[in-house]
Amino acid sequence: MSKTQLSFFDTSALGGGSNTLFWGDLPGDRALDEAASLAKEAAAAPVVAPKIDFRLCSTRDLSQGWKARARDNLAAIRLLTELETDGRNATPSEQALLAKFTGFGAGELANSLFPRPGEAFRQGWEEIGVQLETLTSQQERAGLARATQYAHYTPELIVHALWDLVA
């Protein structure tokens, strides 16, 4: 008895071929190609494993309010850039700072920090938006903006309750 597998993508407009839908180029569309070339370069460099694994023993002590969380995200991005430049691992206190990175998927963050072309940052978010532009490349911001579409914030209380249930 042979097994047959049907591919939705090969039999629809989502698959390759002449019937493929094309929505136009979007910022970050070449990210996969660029990531592949970076992966080839990274394969030649030795991989340095972290010397100390980070273990979250309590809460992440997240800041209250979306602007404060955006500032924590910027601090994590700034620190990651420093770690990459120095070619070193994060200390335990730096790991705790990196753990405060929540992403930009919350509506308030996404709508305030990723304006459409020709638009400005939302009023009151200009300073944070300019810092984000300073800390990231246009391609990195496009990737962050794209990630907001499917990012969902889960309150830490729920995460801990589910983890306790599993444990």
Question: Which whole number is the average pLDDT over 61-73?
Answer: 92
75: in domain: yes
136: in domain: yes
At residue 27 the predicted structure's pLDDT band, cuts being 50, 70 and 90, is: low
29: in domain: no
Q: What domain range is 110 assigned to?
A: 66-165
Which tokens in the block code for residue 7?
């591919």
pLDDT of 45 higher than 80: no
The structural domain count of the chain equals: 1
49: in domain: no
| SS3 call for 127 | helix
Interval 74-115: pLDDT, tens? 999 999 999 999 888 888 889 999 999 988 888 889 989 998
47: in domain: no
Cβ contact 122:111 at 8 Å: yes
At residue 11 the predicted structure's pLDDT band, cuts being 50, 70 and 90, is: low
| SS3 call for 138 | helix
pLDDT given at position 18 = 54
Question: Which whole number is the average pLDDT over 144-166?
Answer: 85
27: in domain: no
107: in domain: yes
pLDDT given at position 128 = 96
Tokens 């039999």 — which residue? 11
30: in domain: no
Taking the model in full, what pTM does it have? 0.64
